[in-house]
Structure 1
Amino acid sequence: MRASHTHSADRERWDARHAVDVAADAGAPAPPDALRGRTELLPAGGRALDVACGRGAVAVWLAARGFAVDAVDVSPVALDAGRELAAREGVTVRWVLHDLDAGLPASEPDSCGAHDVVVCQRFRDPARYPELPALLAPGGLLVITVLSEVDEGPGPFRAAAGELRAAFGALEVLHHVERAGEASLVARVSGPASVPGRR
């Protein structure tokens, strides 16, 4: 799983890693880890943001379910792989090249409070935690999975036990689990849920 870094070589390192992954596996759309077995929690439609999207498996999966998806990553190689996957699946995703160590992208003036789903998977940066709920519309869903110290012990990029619940406890927590070195949380912003056809 990915963690936040401040090194200038981040992009090159992730490009190299994704190039190896692309060579080994073309990839396929897939739900975020925290929603496996509970996809009924998804809003009926609307806008979605995939933070640190990697090769776009989740972004393309969301687009195939009718969401208008923005997908953000630091790696051009990963985004190119995402574009190819989206083309193969016949869906459209807006791919955004951005270094999340500098914060979430602010290219869209209406991005705050505009998303019905925000996914952050395999990227952990507690400095970004307060920014994520602010991107959600009322009733919007936050879906996050990070490396955890639980069952694995401490590490520089692992969340302490209870970190996600502490960070996002002001939301309505629908699912939270910490085990086998991972922590996942699904939470909803209070307010009405998204309705079919909303964009």
Structure 2
Amino acid sequence: MHQHEHEHAQAPASEPAGDEAFWDGRYSESTRIWSGKPNALLVREASDQAPGRALDLGCGEGADAVWLARRGWHVTGTDISKVALGRAAEHAAEAGVGDRVDLQRHDFAESFPEGEFDLVSACFLHNYGDFPRARILRTAAGAVAPGGVLLVVGHAGGPSWNPDAHSEIGFPTPEEVLRQLELPEGAWEVLVTGEHVQALTDPDGRPGTRTDNVLKVRRLA
């Protein structure tokens, strides 16, 4: 799944996203799984936002957290995998931003970081097994400070060469995610809702595409 630069491994549908042993094993398969580059949609949507406090849900090996910290953000990066968090700490230290990145282990079905944040980023936090994604995203919205932003990015489906890949998981549209958030009327502003088509290559090196959904909302009060 990770031919483009998001930081979240794809579990088989039979594996719960809250399985620490599974994710530690997944990250232990190699010294680095992902590209080390930040998610393109995070870069697009957060580049113009003034730095403050950010929460990166499912930070993986830390590319998004490091990118934000380099731009002056104080970042709380969270993941269920201790292996991933160890690599994120190394990445932050190597980038010279370790003092601006607070890494915490959380199984979002059971615990969630404390505090309010000017940016809460949930990129490719997909729904595997019994993972209660909608409830977790509602909790994420509750962690957004007044004037702050919630950014939710997810796949719209499989890649062009395998459009039915993991179709049993279900990939909600931005409008469906917005309804699932159950945001209080008049308290939020919808900034972005739509699709983003990214060019990438298939496993054989041939050109292809994958479409991602993006929802960006700002808390007004």
TM-score class, shorter: 0.7 to 0.9
Greater length-normalized contact order (CA 8 Å, ≥ 6 residues apart): 1
Query: Quick one: which of 107, 110, 113 aligns to 1:99?
Result: 107
Q: How far apart in 1 are the matches of 2:14 and 2:141? A: 22
1:37 aligns with 2:44: yes
Judged with a 3 Å threshold, the aligned counterparts in structure 2 of structure 1 residues 21 and 164 are, in CA distance, closer, same or farther, namely farther
Unaligned runs of 5+ in 2: 1-7, 127-132, 197-209
Q: Does the alignment pair 1:84 with 2:96?
A: no
Please say which of residues 150-159 and 44-53 is displaced more in the overlay: 150-159
* In 1, Cα distance between equivalents of 2:72 and 2:220: 23
Instruction: Answer yes or no: is the 8 Å Cα contact 1:73–1:98 preserved in 2.
Output: yes
Shift of 1:21: 4.9
Query: 1:22 maps to which residue?
Result: 31
Going from structure 1 to structure 2, the CA distance change for 1:103 and 1:9 (only over 3 Å counts) comes to closer
CA distance in 1, matches of 2:178, 2:139: 15
Change (3 A) 1:121 1:79: same
Q: Distance in 1 between matches of 2:59 and 2:177?
A: 19
CA separation of 1:103 and 1:177: change in aligned 2, threshold 3 A = farther
Q: C-alpha distance in 1, partners of 2:76/2:32?
A: 25
| Contact 1:71/1:94 (8 A) holds in 2 | yes
- For residues 75-131 of structure 1, what are the alpha-carbon distances to aligned partners after superposition, in whole Å with 9 as ceiling and x for unaligned? 0110011011001100021110111121424xx4xx1xx210001112131121211
TM-score by length of structure 1 reads: 0.77
Aligned with residue 151 of structure 2, among 133, 136, 143: 143
Which amino acid in the other structure matches residue 157 of structure 1? I
2:207 is matched with which residue?
none
Kept after mapping to 2: 8 A contact 1:5/1:101? no
Q: Distance in 1 between matches of 2:28 and 2:154?
A: 22
Partner of 1:57: 63
Number of matched pairs: 182
The corresponding residue for 1:159 is 171
Q: Is the 8 A contact 1:34 1:143 kept in 2?
A: no
Structure 1 CA distance for aligned equivalents of residues 172 and 59 of structure 2: 23
Deviates more, 1:147-156 or 1:13-22: 147-156
The change in CA–CA distance for 1:160 and 1:122 in structure 2 (over 3 A counts) is: closer
> Cα deviation per residue 1:16-54 (whole Å; 9 max; x = unaligned)?
2223353466x5352x44334344442x12111111111
